[in-house]
Amino acid sequence: AIILGMSLPAMAAEPSAGARLSVVPQVVTLQSQSDSQAVVAVVTFPDGSTRDVTMAAEYTVADPKIARLQTGIIEPVADGESD
């Protein structure tokens, strides 16, 4: 699994109090150097509505020696695991 950190920079429309930020899928497994996985960042508001914030989110990878994430796509850099 590859662990991601995620935050939203200041945006014109800040999520309201009680909104949840999540990334889908929550677990990513890449089997080969040519694999990649798209991720989607979503804000869920207290009323149940959602907003795709994939392009506005800022991501970090727990171990950048193992994987990189650019524009919502995770790609392997080397063999290994990041927990």
For 19-69, the pLDDT digits (tens) are 888 888 888 888 888 899 998 888 898 899 999 988 888 777 788 888 888
| Residue 73 dihedral angles phi and psi, to the nearest 5° | -120, 125
pLDDT of residue 81: 77
- Indicate whether 71 pLDDT > 50: yes
State the Cα–Cα distance between residues 51 and 22, nearest whole angstrom.
Answer: 11
pLDDT for 15: 55
CA-CA distance, 38 to 79, in Å (whole number)? 19
What's the whole-model pTM score?
A: 0.66
pLDDT of residue 12: 38
Angle at 29 (CA atoms; ends 25, 33), nearest 5 degrees: 125
d(CA 75, CA 65): 11
For CA atoms 63, 66, 70, 73, the dihedral sign is negative
